[in-house]
């Protein structure tokens, strides 16, 4: 991976918990739409 | 442009790859293989999106269970807890697995998923057996006595859950205030927040990953006088009374076992708010504690409860193992990335989780919720 791309990924690490929580909400909404 | 070897994740820490391949991958693969085997033995087929799990009586794609394990394991291990506070309401309300089998299934998940964090924090040297020992022993005593408290002095448990809920709301608010305070102090003073900020900025300016905690910074035991233990982390010291640790572990274990929940949601706020231990330190005690307490809980469900109640409630093994496989990976990822996340973010997450858990207990007292706490 390019240096710039890896540096951008590194800079996301402090915010990773919030990104993961946001993804969890998206998957939960998908599940409700499909399976409920 | 050629990649700077210092900047790539693999080159920055070749041991990271080795650690994953040697410790984590075999564990995750073993749990996954076991999940498929049990599903096959239990149901004679592979449950998932097309065929329902036999005890849960639900169709859920296996990738969703692994994802749930990952995100709950990751977010909770970051703050030194097992996945229960997120995984239980999600399982019961979103996935709608709400029959009797959900409780032992959750205990299986909360027992297995912190093992990723346990090995991960051990490798990062966020590990101190002196700190963990007495609180874990207290947890064993409390965890075993909890079910008996439940059928004696806590037989009317609802007023007690209200008290626990109000305490958690208060602790959650306190932690959120501490998070705001830490955010303000990150550029001033000599505390951990300021050191983290300086270290992360210095590394960022060098083009390195912005870790605020230097790699391999250990939690050292500096002294031991009688029951008083002195530990050190990054030039800061804390004095901890082992007797107090034992009593705290026993009380949290007894309350948690009486309520039928994991202990991390009570123990971590106590360590963070009362003992003022940083999140990077308290994981050394709370991750082993939640494993011990969940192990005791599983033992109680398997051997003690059948002897008292006369019936054993089986977990949905395959479900629990699929979630645990994701949880082990998630909690390991948390152990490896926690040193990138500032303390004020961790406190905000912990405060939010604690406050939400407390609010659920308080709400449930007045207006029963559609899922069991």
Q: Provide the pLDDT confidence category of residue B237 given band limits of 50, 70 and 90.
A: very high
Q: Specify if B372 maps to a domain.
A: no
pLDDT (0 to 100) of residue B367? 83
Q: Between B2, B8, B345, which is nearest A17 by CB?
A: B345
Q: Specify if B292 maps to a domain.
A: yes
Name the nearest CA neighbour of B219 among B115, B119, B116, B131: B131
Interface test with B, best of A2, A24, A27 (most B CBs within 10 A): A24
Residue A25, min C-alpha distance to chain B (Å):
10
- What is the pLDDT tens value at each position of chain A, 36 positions in all? 555 666 678 888 999 999 999 999 999 999 988 887
Contact A6 B9 (CB under 8 A): yes
User: What ipTM score was computed for the predicted complex, to two decimals?
Assistant: 0.90
Q: Specify if B5 maps to a domain.
A: no
pTM to 2 decimal places: 0.88
Contact A6 B8 (CB under 8 A): yes
What's the total number of domains in chain B?
A: 1
Q: Specify if B79 maps to a domain.
A: yes
Q: Specify if B300 maps to a domain.
A: yes
When computed from its CA atoms, the radius of gyration of chain B, rounded to whole angstroms, is 21
Contact criterion met (CB below 8 Å) for B112 and B269: no
Contact B340 A31 (CB under 8 A): no
Using CA atoms in the order B173, A19, B339, B79, what is the torsion angle rounded to 10 degrees? 40
Of B10-24, B45-59, B199-213, which has the strongest mean pLDDT?
B199-213
- Chain A, chain B: beta-carbon pairs less than 8 Å apart: 66
pLDDT (0 to 100) of residue B6? 44
Structural domain boundaries, residue B139: 15-366
pLDDT (0 to 100) of residue B14? 63
Q: Specify if B1 maps to a domain.
A: no
Q: Provide the pLDDT confidence category of residue B360 given band limits of 50, 70 and 90.
A: confident
Mean pLDDT of B220-242: 91
Residue A26, min C-alpha distance to chain B (Å):
12
Residues of chain B with C-beta less than 8 angstroms from the C-beta of A1: 3, 8
């Amino acid at each position: 991976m390019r240096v710039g791309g890896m540096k951008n990924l590194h800079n996301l690490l402090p915010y990773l918990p919030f990104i993961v929580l946001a993804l969890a909400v998206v998957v939960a909404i998908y599940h409700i739409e499909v399976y409920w | 442009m050629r990649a700077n070897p210092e900047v790539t994740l693999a080159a920055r820490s070749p041991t990271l790859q080795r650690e994953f391949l040697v410790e984590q991958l075999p564990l995750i693969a073993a749990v996954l293989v076991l999940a498929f085997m049990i599903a096959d033995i239990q149901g004679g087929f592979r449950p998932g999106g097309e065929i329902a799990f036999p005890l849960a009586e639900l169709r859920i794609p296996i990738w969703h269970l692994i994802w749930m394990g990952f995100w709950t394991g990751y977010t909770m291990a970051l703050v030194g807890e097992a996945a229960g506070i997120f995984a239980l309401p999600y399982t019961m309300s979103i996935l709608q697995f709400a029959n009797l089998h959900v409780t032992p299934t959750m205990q299986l998940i909360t027992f297995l998923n912190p093992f990723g964090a346990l090995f991960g924090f051990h490798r990062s040297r966020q590990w101190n057996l002196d700190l963990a020992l007495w609180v874990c022993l207290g947890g064993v005593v409390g965890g075993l006595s909890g079910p008996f408290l439940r059928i004696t002095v806590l037989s009317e448990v609802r007023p007690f859950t209200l008290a626990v809920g109000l305490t958690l709301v208060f602790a959650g608010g306190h932690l959120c205030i501490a998070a705001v305070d830490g955010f303000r102090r990150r550029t001033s003073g000599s505390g951990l927040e300021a050191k983290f900020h300086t270290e992360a900025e210095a590394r960022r300016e060098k083009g390195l990953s912005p870790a605020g905690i230097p790699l391999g910074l250990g939690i050292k035991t500096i002294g031991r006088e009688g029951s008083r233990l002195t530990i050190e982390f990054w030039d800061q010291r804390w004095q901890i009374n082992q007797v107090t640790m034992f009593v705290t572990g026993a009380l949290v274990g007894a309350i948690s076992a009486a309520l039928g929940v994991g202990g991390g949601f009570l123990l971590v706020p106590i360590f963070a708010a009362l003992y003022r231990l940083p999140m990077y330190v308290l994981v050394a005690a709370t991750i082993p504690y939640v494993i011990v307490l969940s192990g005791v809980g599983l033992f109680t469900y398997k051997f003690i409860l059948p002897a008292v109640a006369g019936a054993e409630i089986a977990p949905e093994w395959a479900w629990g193992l699929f979630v645990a496989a994701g949880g082990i990976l998630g909690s390991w990822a948390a152990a490896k990335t926690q040193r990138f996340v500032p303390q004020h973010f961790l406190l905000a997450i912990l405060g939010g989780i604690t406050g939400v858990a407390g609010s659920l207990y308080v709400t449930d007292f007045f207006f029963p919720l559609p899922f069991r706490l």
